Structure 1
């Protein structure tokens, strides 16, 4: 998991999003580089025009993607590959779909909030399995949409592309993690020897005592 993954993930998303389109069957309306006129209006804080949508560049949409999607799904806190998989889903269908899909993939309550429980469960599971489950779940959702006959082919190509790239990113992240040197265990510090203070044994002179006892016996008898 790394903040640097955002640049890579964004480049991949923009490959799928393409340039300016205003398809009559697309409920998002005028869209450029994946940013709809509604999204741009929210970003600007006022109604955007189609001309402004058409004038968008990769540099101007990057902050929108970062705040509205990457940060919203906590991309910096997700493992490599999983971050891109969830990010692309959020861009395509909204974080309200992407986050619960992630949570279902790891077997926690799909409340739509990525908190400590979700992150801990993500970290304890195989990134590859999470990616596979999210992509499968995503396809189930897309096939149910009324616009599937129009956009289904493109969506399928996109999801399969995400699956391939996300799995490759996860494998690369695992390789980097496995190649990190394992720190040698610290040498145990020996406990100080416990010694009992010894008192000098006094030397008892017995010669004088015995002579005194002998004199007493002699005197008594």
Structure 2
């Protein structure tokens, strides 16, 4: 990995990030050129400097933060052309751990370690074993887009994120295939931070379990009444209305049991899709 491609990659990331941002729905809060106030405060503290507004970040501070906390964090120097840019752009937008998870998942069977968001020797070896970086970039971007679509903030920033990922894909694949990559463009909303903590909540299976359990209980009650009906059969009138209750209870129990099982299947399926999309670890 050459220093020039780091600079070119970060230049495109900065184009996507834009300038100052403080959208109320953006979990990153106050942000300047992709650096949040929280990250800037930590950087200033680590260098023995007094805190100040991220609006005042210098070019040198900006480069050091991007170089240390994003480029080095994803081991950009050890990643092939195009893959390095795609992974670091995801790291700036969603954090290094999440971007590395997309990379590990995109590697498929080439990567045999844990999906843990830590880029170690196993991840690097798997990347080096991949002979189609163009397709790898496609899979990374697919992972990223699926993740974004399962965030609560998708309704606010989906258009911007989609445009950003589409352009990241094009630029990354141009690098991977030896072509000259295009410049990056800013699309409002694409700079919003996209964190796993903002993933949509999986539906609870508790109502389904309760409904299914309730249906079984009603079946038991209808059985008891059916026995009572047989005992009261000499008393025609009593036996008739008990029979009607038995039929009603049987229908109710069937609806509850079937409905509970169906919703339980739906809830578990949706939870599994969510876990897959957000790249749940463990």
**CA–CA separation in structure 1 for the residues paired with 2:4 and 2:64:** 14
**Contact 1:16/1:158 (<8 A) preserved:** yes
**Offset at 1:96?**
1.5
State the SS of the aligned residue for 1:26.
coil
**CA–CA separation in structure 2 for the residues paired with 1:38 and 1:145:** 21
Aligned 1:142-221 pairs, distance under 5 A? 142-172=148-178
State the SS of the aligned residue for 1:13.
helix
State the SS of the aligned residue for 1:29.
coil
**TM-score, normalising length: structure 2:** 0.58
State the SS of the aligned residue for 1:98.
helix
Aligned 1:62-211 pairs, distance under 5 A? 62-107=63-108, 108=111, 109-125=114-130, 126-172=132-178
**CA–CA separation in structure 2 for the residues paired with 1:4 and 1:78:** 14
Specify the alignment match of 1:40 in structure 2. Answer: 40
Aligned length, in residue pairs: 171
State the SS of the aligned residue for 1:172.
coil
After superposition, the Cα gap between the structure-2 partners of 1:58 and 1:153, relative to the gap in structure 1 and judged at 3 Å, is: farther
**Offset at 1:28?**
1.2
Structure 1: segments with no counterpart, 5+ residues:
174-221
**Contact 1:75/1:87 (<8 A) preserved:** yes
Structure 1, residues 169-204: CA drift from partner, whole Å, max 9, x if none?
Answer: 11118xxxxxxxxxxxxxxxxxxxxxxxxxxxxxxx
**CA–CA separation in structure 2 for the residues paired with 1:129 and 1:12:** 21
**Contact 1:31/1:37 (<8 A) preserved:** yes
**Offset at 1:163?**
0.3
- Structure that is richer in helix per residue: 2
**Offset at 1:48?**
3.7
State the SS of the aligned residue for 2:20.
coil
**Contact 2:97/2:118 (<8 A) preserved:** no
**Offset at 1:27?**
1.5
**Offset at 1:26?**
1.1
The structure whose Rg is larger is 1
**CA–CA separation in structure 1 for the residues paired with 2:59 and 2:161:** 22
**CA–CA separation in structure 1 for the residues paired with 2:97 and 2:163:** 22
- Larger relative CO (CA 8 A, sep 6+): 1 or 2? 2
**CA–CA separation in structure 2 for the residues paired with 1:161 and 1:59:** 27
CA-atom RMSD, angstroms?
A: 1.6
After superposition, the Cα gap between the structure-2 partners of 1:117 and 1:172, relative to the gap in structure 1 and judged at 3 Å, is: same
Specify the alignment match of 1:23 in structure 2. Answer: 23
**Contact 1:33/1:58 (<8 A) preserved:** no
